[in-house]
Structure formats: C-alpha cells, structure tokens
C-alpha cells in the first residue's frame, strides 16, 4: 500500500497557498560552512507568516475546506506554533479557531495564538488531557479538527518549503530538517524525493527526545516517553501517517545533545544575525557535530521557526 500523501499533494498545496504565505529567503554563511565542513543553504522559515513553517500546512488545511466544512471553524491542540499558524489561517478565511494549549506552554507562543485571533483553552500537559479537551470542544462546536502534524493536508503544506528551497538552490545533495511529530520532515522527504530520488534526506532530533531515531532503527513505531529537551517543538511522537513516510524515504535521523542545540542556536544569532528557536537549531547542531555524515556536501537546512520567549533565552542563567 502506498503512502496516503504524495508528491502531487505537495504540488497541489504549493498552488493553493501561493500568495497566502511568504516565499522565505535562503541564506548562507561562510563561517558556518567552515565549521560544518560543508556548503549549507538555510531555508529561513523563521521569516514565515506567524514566524514558523507551520503557516504552510495550516493555510493548506484551512483553504482546502469547502464552505460548509469551514463554517464551524477549526480546532487543534498545540504547544504554540501550530496553534498560532492555524489561528492566522482561520482569521484570514474569516472562521473561528479553537486552540487547546497544554499548561506550561511558552507564554510567547500563547500570546501569538491570541494575537492571531485563536480562542485558547488550557488543558493538562498530557496527550490524553489535550485530546479530551479537544474532543469536548469539537462536540460543542462541530469545528474541524486539524491535527498538528498527522494530517495529509498539513504534511503536504509543510513540504512546500523544500520545493522552494530546491527550486532556488540547484545541485543540493542532501536536505536536513528537524523532527518532532514528523509533519515537516515527511513533507520535506516527499518533496525532495519527488524532485530527485537521489537526494538524501535526514531528520535531526534532540538526544533527549529521540523517538524518531529509535522507531526508524527498530522498524516499528516507538512512542515518545518523558522527553527532556529545550526544543519544545520536538517533544511529540511520530504519527500514524508520518512514520511510514519517513521509514520509506529517510536516510537517517541525527541526534544531538542539549548543550550543542543551545550552542548552535546562539551561533546562528551571532553569525547569521537571525532569530531562530531551539527546534530550528537542532539540524544546525547535527551538521556542526564531529559525527556529521554530510561533510563535504551541499546541504539544504530547514530552519523551522523563530518564535522565542525572549525572557527565557537558554544561554542566560537564572
């Protein structure tokens, strides 16, 4: 049985969201090239609408709905970035967005959800708690549930970042993206392999939240348990849709320790003069590590977002 999301779906998403999201810039840095021993091309989704790649999938999902489907609004559970992106897309279509947010989520990301018009409901931080709150709201409103990553329209939308990167930078040998639930990495793999089956696609993951690396090594889904990482966007498990896509198309998952994530984030701020969040720094950290398999290669790097709580920067001690 083939995947439930295809390269054609990514192409359709590209057409659907054109003009709704930004075509983000691709930046380079000779300093980071030297440190990585590779030629790096950074797709800067930190400059995307809502400050994160998730605007792509959210707009694809919201604008693919029929008028009848959209009327009751949309609903999701999210630690922040997907909720903000879905709120923005819903506002632009003129429909409600109900966002279930786990207690303890980043204050900056909750503020962004509200700024974009999302209606926030807090829930326990556990997945069952989030899902129960979402089910209650769905029963009350009839809103359409848009899963943060395990949704065909979300996956296809996220893949458009890689389509743009590969159109702008010919001759790439590999693409690296962070992996949490796997929506971005699945879309990236579909786009990259659809354009050039020889392209190598890698995920990058915190060592303290390495369910994707363990699942792919074992050949079976292993859920995330007690993730310990500053990269709050990468604490979720792979999904039923994303795992088979990655198992079929991924070269591997590179894992990195916390101190290297923080150092890579700080280095991007210092050297590239751009704001990225910890999840975005994970692929850079993997490429800067001594064990990187991509030295000497031309590598595309998806910088997933730039939504940082400026009062809680990881290199500032309390």
Residues marked active site are found at 54, 304
- The residues with which 40 forms a beta bridge, in sequence order, are 299
Helix axes 54-63, 7-17, angle to 10 degrees: 80
Among residues 161, 130, 89, which one has the least CA distance to residue 236?
A: 130
Task: Name the DSSP letter for residue 10.
Answer: H
Look up residue 211 and give its two tokens: 């369910």
| In contact, 117 and 93? CB cutoff 8 Å | no
**Cβ contacts of 96 within 8 Å, gap of 6 or more:** 72, 73, 74, 90, 119, 141, 143
Which alpha helices (DSSP H) does 64-182 contain, by range?
67-70, 81-93, 107-115, 127-141, 152-158, 160-168
Kind of pairing between the strands at 39-44 and 26-27: antiparallel
Give the separation between CA 36 and CA 254, rounded to whole angstroms.
Answer: 14
Which residues are paired to 174 by β-bridges? Answer: 200, 299
Q: Across the beta sheet with 97-102, what order do the strands follow?
A: 119-123, 97-102, 74-77, 144-145
DSSP state, residue 269:
I
Structure tokens at 117: 């018009």
Contact in structure between 54 and 61 (CB atoms under 8 Å): no
- Work out whether the CA dihedral 127, 132, 133, 135 comes out positive or negative: positive
β-strands 174-178, 200-206 pairing = parallel
Q: How many residues does the chain have?
A: 318
């Amino acid at each position: 049985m083939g995947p439930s999301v295809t390269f054609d779906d990514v192409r359709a998403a590209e057409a659907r969201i054109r003009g709704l999201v930004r075509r983000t810039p691709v930046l380079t840095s000779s300093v980071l090239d030297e440190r990585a021993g590779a030629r790096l091309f950074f797709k800067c989704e930190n400059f995307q609408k809502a400050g994160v790649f998730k605007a792509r999938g959210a707009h694809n999902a919201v604008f693919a709905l029929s008028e009848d489907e959209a009327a009751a609004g949309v609903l999701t559970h999210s630690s922040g970035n997907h909720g903000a992106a879905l709120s923005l897309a819903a506002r632009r279509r003129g429909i409600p967005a109900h966002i279930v947010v786990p207690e303890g989520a980043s204050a900056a990301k909750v503020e962004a959800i509200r700024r974009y018009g999302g209606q926030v409901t807090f829930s326990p931080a556990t997945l069952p708690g989030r899902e129960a709150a979402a089910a209650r709201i769905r029963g009350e409103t009839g809103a359409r549930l848009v899963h943060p990553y395990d949704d065909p329209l979300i996956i296809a939308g996220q893949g458009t970042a890689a389509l743009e990167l590969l159109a702008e930078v010919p001759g790439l040998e590999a693409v690296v993206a962070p992996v949490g639930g796997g929506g971005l990495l699945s879309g990236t793999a579909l786009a990259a392999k659809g354009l050039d089956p020889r392209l190598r696609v890698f995920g990058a993951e915190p060592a303290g939240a390495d369910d994707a690396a363990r699942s792919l090594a074992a050949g079976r889904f292993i859920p995330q348990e007690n993730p310990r990482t500053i990269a709050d966007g990468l604490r979720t498990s792979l999904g039923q849709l994303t795992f088979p896509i990655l198992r079929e198309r991924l070269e591997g998952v590179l894992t990195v320790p916390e101190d290297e994530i923080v150092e890579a984030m700080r280095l991007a701020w210092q050297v590239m003069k751009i704001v990225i969040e910890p999840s975005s720094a994970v692929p850079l950290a993997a490429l800067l590590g001594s064990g990187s398999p991509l030295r000497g290669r031309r590598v595309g790097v998806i910088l997933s977002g730039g939504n940082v709580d400026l009062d809680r920067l990881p290199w500032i001690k309390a």
